[in-house]
């Protein structure tokens, strides 16, 4: 169902949504980039994704459906598993004895259509819809599932009778704990907690014993939300069940333990990294969710753009040297490295990784898991990797002097090395490596670029435009170089050449919107530090991070907060969200 470029161009002109001059300019860009004119106009901000979809639907003769105000029957909605609906942006909304109508954002997603046809055994009738309708449908899906899971939990809790407890100072032995863990209602409760977290797209599950209750919380889009409150006497049983799944010692409650396990939920493989910690009221358990089959990211999808994106592409073309990502835990560092690896992953190179844990599985990449308990650390693994004839090496994290020295030496001897560091900024990575006893002259010879990043919550379509007052602009100007950000916006044609800050629209959630409905998903804000001749000179003089940061900014680097404001203008997030994340 391809659309001819001329047909699409004529339709765009007839719509009056884009000026003739912009269409002519986009046509030239589309020929250079070998992209559709519609896609170029969307990338330039001249058309919205939904405008383009409506045009495509009209040209192709596919019905366009608006589901924003529709209450969809759960028995129809649930014919498509929620992970499939979310990942492929496809929902079932109308069913007859012989057919099923599905709303999609991309009617050429044949994989999703084939899957659904096999699952339901009906004729599938694809319909196009807009992003707001899709969001509304998936939200209904989650609310229905939440209610369903709440009922399941309540039912299973009521079925758990006379749970033995060790709260009164009576220690339960391993046999008693194993019996608790194998109790059918308890198995269902834990399975429900895990599946509910996957459906809510949580990154972590916190199970926290309180004085009189057991609190379950999910971290969604970087923020913790209360999910469920369970009876306090279920603490030992749930702890035992999770320990069985992750092969931990059942009767060890005085020391922290770490483990992992994997489940398959509606065709989606999810690994759980488990950590237990003794607290005053019992064992606290935190599980990190790692979706193994996440793939297909691009640097543009991760919100890299402009000069920063060019810097990464130039560094990727180098056959030696180091590419580092920095930021706190959970800031998307590993996802960025996997995306760079995906670009580098061609048939003519050998790629090897040493990770803890292996977060995503990649084809044609040799991935190795560290095992500290048997002496197999990042350093020992890296020492072996360089003897395996790799072209590209990814080290999950540089966390000690030995790993740092080995990584630098590997990049000196003809390898591209990718890794992460826990520092607050890109510039902070250089003094951190010096603290790890890496000589400045070695850093000058090996470092290519350093990427600093954070994750901000993304606005949904439930947003409105507004303009900053002069006082607000003056206040913002105290934190960032507004002229530099405005120039970047002009260069990337996000705003007009003559626009001033008073003319630039920002976005915020619509009034009376709940927080969970205002934001969905997260996006990166970045700073990309190129190790230029001036920065190399500063490194050789053992400059601190402030001096290096100053040079990088003078050379045109957008800081994380400046990149955040750039994305606020694009409508991806809010100023408040950027300031919240930067302040953490």
Domain layout of the chain by residue ranges = 5-60, 160-291, 306-583
Interacting residues of 314 by C-beta distance below 8 A, sequence separation 6+: none
Choose which CATH entry (3.60.70.12, 3.40.50.300, 1.10.1660.10, 3.30.70.1400) describes domain 306-583: 3.40.50.300
Give per-residue burial for 258-274: e unless 16+ CB within 10 Å, then b: ebbbeeebeebebbbbb
pLDDT attached to residue 2: 62
Task: Tell whether the torsion through CA atoms of 490, 494, 497 and 501 is positive or negative.
Answer: negative
Could you tell me which of 232, 227, 253 has the C-alpha nearest to residue 242? 253
One fold for 160-291 and 306-583: no
d(CA 140, CA 72): 8
**H/E stretch holding 14:** helix 5-15
Could you tell me which of 387, 381, 439 has the C-alpha nearest to residue 413? 387
Residue 44 sits at φ, ψ, to 5 deg, of -85, -5
Q: Residues in the chain, how many?
A: 584
Alpha carbon distances (Å) from 186 to 192, 238, 252, 297, 435:
10, 7, 20, 37, 49
Could you tell me which of 234, 193, 227 has the C-alpha nearest to residue 212? 234
Query: Is it true that the peptide bond before 357 is cis, omega within 30 degrees of 0?
Result: yes
Could you tell me which of 36, 105, 112 has the C-alpha nearest to residue 64? 105
pLDDT attached to residue 168: 45
Phi-psi region of 47 (alpha: psi -120 to 50; beta: other; left: phi over 0): beta
d(CA 218, CA 203): 7
pLDDT attached to residue 412: 92
Q: Give the distance, in angstroms, between the CA of residue 132 and the centroid of all CA atoms in the same chain.
A: 21
**Predicted model pTM:** 0.72
d(CA 91, CA 89): 7
- CB-neighbour burial class of residue 113 (10 A; exposed 0-12, middle 13-18, buried 19+): middle
Task: Tell whether the torsion through CA atoms of 216, 222, 223 and 227 is positive or negative.
Answer: negative
d(CA 133, CA 139): 10
d(CA 412, CA 137): 53
d(CA 422, CA 535): 21
Give the orientation angle of helix 470-477 with respect to helix 482-491, to 10 degrees.
Answer: 100
pLDDT attached to residue 562: 95
Residue listed under structure tokens 């391809």: 2
Contact yes or no for 373/352 (Cβ under 8 A): no
Transcribe 102-161 into DSSP letters: EEES-TT-HHHHHHHHHHH-SEEEEEE--HHHHHHHHHHHHHHHHHHHHHHHHHHHHH--
d(CA 536, CA 447): 9
d(CA 160, CA 430): 55
Contact yes or no for 118/110 (Cβ under 8 A): no
Could you tell me which of 267, 319, 263, 250 has the C-alpha nearest to residue 290? 263
pLDDT (tens digit, 0 to 9) for every residue of the chain, 584 residues total? 566 677 777 777 777 777 777 777 777 777 776 777 777 787 777 777 777 777 777 777 778 888 877 888 878 888 887 778 877 888 999 988 888 999 888 777 777 888 888 888 888 888 888 877 887 888 776 666 556 556 666 665 666 655 555 554 456 667 777 777 777 778 888 888 888 888 778 899 999 999 999 999 999 888 898 888 888 888 888 999 999 999 999 888 889 999 889 888 766 788 899 999 999 999 999 999 987 665 557 888 899 999 999 999 999 999 899 999 999 988 999 899 999 998 999 999 999 999 988 877 888 999 999 988 888 989 999 999 989 999 999 999 999 999 999 999 999 988 999 999 999 999 999 999 999 999 999 999 999 999 999 999 999 877 889 999 999 999 999 889 999 999 999 999 898 888 999 999 999 998 876 666 688 889 999 999 999 999 999 999 999 999 999 999 999 999 999 999 999 999 999 999 999 999 87
Residue 307 sits at φ, ψ, to 5 deg, of -60, -40
Instruction: Please tell me the CATH code under which domain 160-291 is placed.
Output: 3.30.450.90
**H/E stretch holding 527:** strand 519-530
**H/E stretch holding 273:** strand 268-279
d(CA 556, CA 530): 10
The residues that bridge with 367 in the sheet, in sequence order, are: 353
């Amino acid at each position: 169902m391809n659309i001819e470029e001329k047909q699409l161009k004529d339709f765009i002109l007839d719509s009056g949504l884009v000026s003739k001059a912009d269409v002519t300019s986009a046509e030239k860009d589309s020929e250079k980039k070998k992209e559709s004119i519609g896609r170029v106009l969307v990338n330039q901000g001249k058309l919205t994704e939904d405008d383009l979809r409506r045009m495509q639907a009209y040209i192709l003769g596919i019905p366009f459906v608006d589901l924003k105000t529709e209450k969809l029957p759960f028995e129809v909605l649930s014919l498509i598993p929620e992970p499939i609906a979310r990942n492929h942006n496809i929902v079932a909304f109308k069913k007859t004895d012989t057919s099923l109508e599905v709303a999609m954002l991309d009617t050429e997603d044949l994989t999703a259509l084939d899957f659904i046809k096999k699952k339901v055994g009906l004729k599938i009738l694809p319909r196009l819809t807009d992003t707001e309708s899709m969001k509304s449908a998936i939200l209904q899906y989650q609310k229905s599932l939440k209610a369903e899971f709440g009922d399941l939990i309540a039912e299973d809790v009521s079925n758990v009778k006379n749970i033995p407890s060790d709260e009164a100072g009576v220690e339960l032995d391993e046999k008693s704990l194993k019996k608790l863990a194998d109790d059918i209602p308890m198995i269902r409760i834990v399975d429900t907690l895990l599946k509910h977290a996957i459906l809510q797209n949580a990154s972590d599950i916190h199970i926290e014993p309180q004085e009189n209750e057991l609190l379950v919380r999910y971290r969604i889009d970087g923020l913790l939300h209360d999910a469920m409150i369970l009876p306090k006497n279920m603490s030992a049983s749930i702890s035992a069940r999770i320990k069985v799944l992750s092969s931990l010692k059942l009767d060890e409650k005085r020391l922290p333990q770490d483990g992992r396990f994997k489940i398959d939920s509606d065709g989606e493989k999810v690994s759980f990294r488990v950590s237990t910690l003794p607290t005053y009221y019992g064992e606290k358990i935190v599980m990190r969710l790692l979706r193994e089959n996440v793939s297909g990211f691009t640097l543009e999808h991760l919100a890299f753009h402009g000069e920063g994106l060019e810097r990464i592409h130039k560094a990727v073309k180098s056959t030696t040297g180091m590419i580092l990502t920095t930021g706190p835990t959970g800031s998307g560092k590993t996802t960025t490295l996997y995306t760079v690896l995906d670009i580098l992953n061609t048939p003519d190179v050998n790629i090897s990784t040493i990770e803890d844990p292996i977060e995503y599985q990649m084809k044609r990449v040799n991935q190795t898991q560290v095992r500290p308990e048997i002496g197999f650390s990042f350093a020992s693994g890296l020492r072996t990797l360089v003897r395996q004839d790799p072209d590209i090496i990814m080290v999950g994290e540089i966390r000690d002097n030995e790993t740092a020295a080995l990584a630098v030496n590997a990049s000196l001897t003809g390898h591209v090395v990718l890794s992460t560091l826990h520092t607050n900024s890109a510039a902070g990575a250089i003094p951190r490596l010096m603290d790890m006893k890496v000589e400045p002259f070695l850093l000058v010879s090996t470092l290519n670029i350093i990427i600093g990043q954070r994750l901000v919550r993304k606005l949904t379509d439930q947003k409105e435009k507004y303009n900053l007052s002069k006082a607000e602009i003056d206040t913002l100007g105290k934190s960032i170089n507004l002229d530099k950000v405005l120039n970047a916006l002009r260069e990337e044609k996000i705003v007009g050449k003559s626009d001033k800050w008073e003319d630039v629209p920002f976005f915020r959630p619509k009034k009376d919107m709940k927080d969970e409905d205002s934001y969905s998903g997260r996006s990166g804000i970045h700073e990309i530090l190129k190790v230029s001749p001036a920065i190399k000179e500063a490194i050789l003089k053992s400059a601190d991070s402030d001096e290096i940061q100053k040079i990088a900014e003078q050379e045109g680097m957008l800081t994380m907060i400046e990149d955040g404001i750039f994305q606020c203008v694009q409508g991806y997030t809010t100023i408040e969200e950027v300031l919240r994340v930067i302040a953490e």
